[in-house]
Structure formats: C-alpha cells, structure tokens
Structure 1
Amino acid sequence: MSRPVVFIHGLWIHSSAWQPWQELFELQGYRTAAPGWPGDGDTVAATRANPDAVAGYGVDAITEAYAAVLAGYDEKPIVIGHSFGGLIAQKLLDRGLAAAAVAFSPAPIKGVRALPFSLLRTSFPVLSRPGNKQRAVSLTEKQFAYSFGNALPAAESAELYERFTIPGPGRPLFEVSSANFTRDAPSAVDTASANRGPLLMVAAGRDHTVPAVVVRAAHRLYAGSAARTDITCHPDRGHSGVFDHGWRELADEALSWVRSLDRSGAPSA
C-alpha cells in the first residue's frame, strides 16, 4: 500500500493551500491528507465566518489534533509542514508518530535565539495586545504583504491574501515568543534524539516571518543528533513559497527527498 503523507498548514493560511501538493504527491502514488487546525472550517469562507472557533488553541492542542490524525494510519505517515506547521511536524517526528518530516520556514523551536527585526515586526500586531492570547487574530492585506508576500508582485500577494488567509489563534505566537523563558515550553523538541526519522528543513532567503537565519539556528540545534537532519535554502523565496506561483519548485524538492527515503528503505512502522 502507498505511503501516507500528511500536510500541516501554518498560522493564517487555510489547508486548501496544499491542494496542488496533494495532487502532485498522489500522482506519484502517495496517499495524502491536509487536515485543518482545531476550529478551522472546511473552506476559507467558513473559517472567516466563525473566527471564535479557532481562538485559544496553542501548540500542544494543535499537535494533539494532528497526532490523532496520524494515529489513524496503518503506518507512520510522512509529515510536511509550513511555518507553525513546520514546528508541529518536528514535534510529531520527535514523538515518534511520523516516519519523516519536511519543515518549510518552520516557526522556531525552543532554543532558537535569533530574533531578526522582520520576525519581530510580523509578530508585533499579535504580541502587542496581551488579550490576543485568547483571541482569534486576522492579518490585514498590508500585514500579509509584508509577512508573506514581500517577494511577490503586489497583485499576486493581494490575490493570495483573498484566496487563502483565515483567522488564527494568537496563543501559538505567545508560546513561541516566551519559549526560552518557559521550563516546559510547548515548542520544545528533543533535538539530541537519535531515535527519530529523517528531517528536512527548508529556508527562504527573503522570508520576513521566519528568516533563513532562524531556520539555520534551529538546524544547528540538531547537530548533536545522529539522526539525519538536512537543510536547504532558496535565496529568492519568501514566506508564501509553498503556495505562491513558485510552489512547484519547493514541492518537487520535497517529493524528491521523500522518494529518496523510500529508495533507501526508510522505516515506516
């Protein structure tokens, strides 16, 4: 039976953004799924119509929701995540629930200390109001253009904003921002473990939300692990890379990496 691949979206982006990836992977014989976060509606419109449904969920609750999805398969899936989805993918891999993981511009795990200005700027609209920890927060089109669409033509950024953006819980941003001062931070991962599957981290050189320096810092935290941990960087891509006009370049890279695991006989149980 074909290996399952589960896609995990990031904050403010609906899971429907993964549809082209699912079609590509299914053509190559994989079974795919792209579940939403807790409270997400089946469509962008449905999620926007009920923003309170997503409020209050943090990293642990989102991770548990995906853990339940993975438990329904007859073998460990490969997980592919973007932004906060990349963080969730690493947590699932760390727990031994996934066979392997690909993390595109992943939100920082505990221990990452790099704080570029652009990362602070993208987080400020949420973190500047403590009450947002319990609320659902939406990006304005201008905020999206800076955080996601800065490497795109203005028209494409506006189109993607209308097509894919949804309200998201503020809590995960608060949890990540305070992780290095929190003993049992939800974003903590055992980076020294040798008992996990392979991990590919992918950085984007023009990313404002998770700059490449942040991804490289996370990769360095895994240096003490004997488990396979790869990293690549796309210098001209921004945070929208997995769902903008250049998505296929990143998808082909992920697909090639995943297929290399199948050829090498990577464990699936």
Structure 2
Amino acid sequence: MKISNTKNIVFITGAFVSNESWNEWIPYFESKGYSSIAPPWPHKDAPAEVLRNRHPDSEIASNRLQGLIDYYVGIIGQLKVKPILIGHSIGGLLVQLLLQRGLGIAGIAIHSVPPQGLITFKWSFLKAGWGPLGFFTSTKKSYLMSFKEWQYAFTNGMSLEQQKASYYQLAIPESKLIVRDTITNVAKVDFNKPHAPLLLLSGSDDHTIPASLNYANYSKYNHSNSVTDYKEFKGRNHFVLGQPTWKENADYILDWISKVIH
C-alpha cells in the first residue's frame, strides 16, 4: 500500500535526552529532500549542560504524557500537510499515539517504549527503568541519570570516551511523572484500529527497551489492511541515534518510507 507523498518529518525526542540527539539526522534527511524539525520538549529549550545545572527542575518535573501528546498535536496542527513521524523511546510511543489520532501519514518508532499493557520482566529492563520511575521519591523533583546509570541504560558496549562525551552533550533531567504515565491509560493504543504505515525498529543490545519488547509491541497490531513492519538491528543499544551506525538505521528508514509513500 502506498500513500500520497509529503516532505515533512517531525522527529520526536525520547526521555532523558536533549532534542539535539537528532542533530545529525536532520541535515541527513534534509539532504534527501525532507523538511525536518525536532522540537524540544516543554521546559527543555536549552543546552543539556544548562538543564543539568537547573536540576532539580520543578518545571520539567511537572511534565505529563498527556501534555506532551497535546504539545505535539499543536505542532503538527501548524504544518500545512501531515508529516512523517519519527520517534525514539518515549518518542516512539508518541508516534504510535499520534498515529492513532490520524496525525501522521507514516510513523517510525525507534526502540519504542511500549503502549500500556505491554511489559517484560527481563532484568535489564527492570534495572534500567527502576530509578527513572522514582518510586518512593518526590515527583516535584526532576530525575537525572547518573553517569553510571547512563552507561548501563543508554551507552552499554561503547568506549568510555564515547560514553562520557554523549552524557555531557545530551543527558538531561526528566519528569518521573511522564515515565509513570507510560503504564497508564494515557498510553493506551487500540491495536485493532486502522492506522498509517508504521515501522518499529529495535536493537539487540538495548538494555532499556529489549528487542523482545519491541517485537511484542509489533505483534499486537492486528489490522490486516494497515502496514506494520518490524526490524531488529544487531549491536544497537538505547543510544542508537548517536551510535556510529546511526546512518545505517536512517537509510533503512528512508528506504522503507520510499516503499510506503510515493
């Protein structure tokens, strides 16, 4: 199935990282003819170092998933045509939720946080997610991953130099409430509902969102007349957007887009 062409892409950032995660992706996709934006989340329109220095940040801590959905609905509403949506982690969940509303002509969910009702008891997932959920701590304070947590949850398998550089450039405080909201009805997807073409990508080395969880997410979609595709990449961790192999993922996405959109 193919649908009418568009040249707009909205990149949707995940939790704990700056929207500068897309800094290499935007010019690359623009070189292929796509007008691309990667808006910062509310209260996060500042360099990562500045945001870390503000931690704990009560404004960031107040962010909720529903507010984030509404925020992207507003951004998409300002575009002249429906965009292609590309999101990472919680951004991948947002892609799925926005496609449910008919707000994209195609969606790519990269190492996506799953919709409500999908969970795994794999140890790496539980270990990576326990701290950010912030149980037994105040939700009025933002959560900032320590460098040790960043090494495990995002950059496992990378060199120490790469881990340090990525933490300094991109790690930012997060709302515990947004993380908790991903297991509520706000994150519910109707898997039987028709939807625009959707591609889910996973990584074999992702501690935060194991590939098995992304595959379970993919397998839930039941509408036979809607395009839903899945691809697992070997060697990808949760820092997939910034790994040296990022362009291979980008090229796969571009090729997939060319097949479902004309």
TM-score (normalised: structure 1): 0.90
Q: Is the 8 A contact 2:52 2:172 kept in 1?
A: yes
C-alpha distance 248-132 of structure 1, shift in aligned 2 (>3 A): farther
What SS does the aligned partner of 2:206 have? Answer: coil
C-alpha distance 214-45 of structure 1, shift in aligned 2 (>3 A): same
Q: Is the 8 A contact 1:205 1:238 kept in 2?
A: yes
Ranges in structure 2 where 5+ consecutive residues have no aligned partner: none
C-alpha distance 221-245 of structure 1, shift in aligned 2 (>3 A): same
- The alpha-carbon deviation at position 22 of structure 1 amounts to 0.5
How do residues 97-116 of structure 1 correspond to structure 2 at under 5 angstroms?
Answer: 97-116=103-122
2:150 corresponds to 1:144: yes
Q: Is the 8 A contact 1:111 1:221 kept in 2?
A: no
Higher relative contact order (CA 8 A, sep 6+): 2
- The alpha-carbon deviation at position 234 of structure 1 amounts to 0.7
State the alpha-carbon separation in 1 of the partners of residues 261 and 27 from structure 2. 19
- The alpha-carbon deviation at position 63 of structure 1 amounts to 1.1
- The alpha-carbon deviation at position 42 of structure 1 amounts to 3.2
Aligned to 2:203: 204
What SS does the aligned partner of 1:209 have? Answer: coil
Ranges in structure 1 where 5+ consecutive residues have no aligned partner: 180-184, 264-269
What SS does the aligned partner of 1:70 have? Answer: helix
C-alpha distance 138-88 of structure 1, shift in aligned 2 (>3 A): same
C-alpha distance 130-241 of structure 1, shift in aligned 2 (>3 A): same
C-alpha RMSD over aligned residues: 1.6
C-alpha distance 53-153 of structure 1, shift in aligned 2 (>3 A): same
Aligned to 2:175: 169
- The alpha-carbon deviation at position 53 of structure 1 amounts to 2.6
Query: 1:38-75 deviations in whole A, cap 9, x for unaligned?
Result: 11123223322433331121211111111111001111
2:37 corresponds to 1:38: no
TM-score (normalised: structure 2): 0.92
What SS does the aligned partner of 2:222 have? Answer: helix
Once the two structures are aligned, what percentage of the paired residues are identical? 27
Q: Is the 8 A contact 1:44 1:165 kept in 2?
A: yes
What SS does the aligned partner of 1:81 have? Answer: strand
State the alpha-carbon separation in 1 of the partners of residues 106 and 212 from structure 2. 23
What SS does the aligned partner of 1:79 have? Answer: strand
Aligned to 2:61: 55
State the alpha-carbon separation in 2 of the partners of residues 132 and 169 from structure 1. 11
How do residues 203-222 of structure 1 correspond to structure 2 at under 5 angstroms?
Answer: 203-222=202-221
Structure 1 letter corresponding to 2:162: E
Structure 2 letter corresponding to 1:232: K
Query: 1:91-124 deviations in whole A, cap 9, x for unaligned?
Result: 1111111111100110111121323111111111
Structure 1 letter corresponding to 2:257: V
Q: Is the 8 A contact 1:151 1:237 kept in 2?
A: no
Q: Is the 8 A contact 2:204 2:234 kept in 1?
A: yes
Aligned to 1:249: 248
The number of residues matched between the two structures is 256
Find the partner of 1:81 among 87, 97, 103: 87
Aligned to 1:266: none
- The alpha-carbon deviation at position 137 of structure 1 amounts to 0.6
State the alpha-carbon separation in 2 of the partners of residues 68 and 104 from structure 1. 22
What SS does the aligned partner of 2:139 have? Answer: helix
What SS does the aligned partner of 1:200 have? Answer: strand
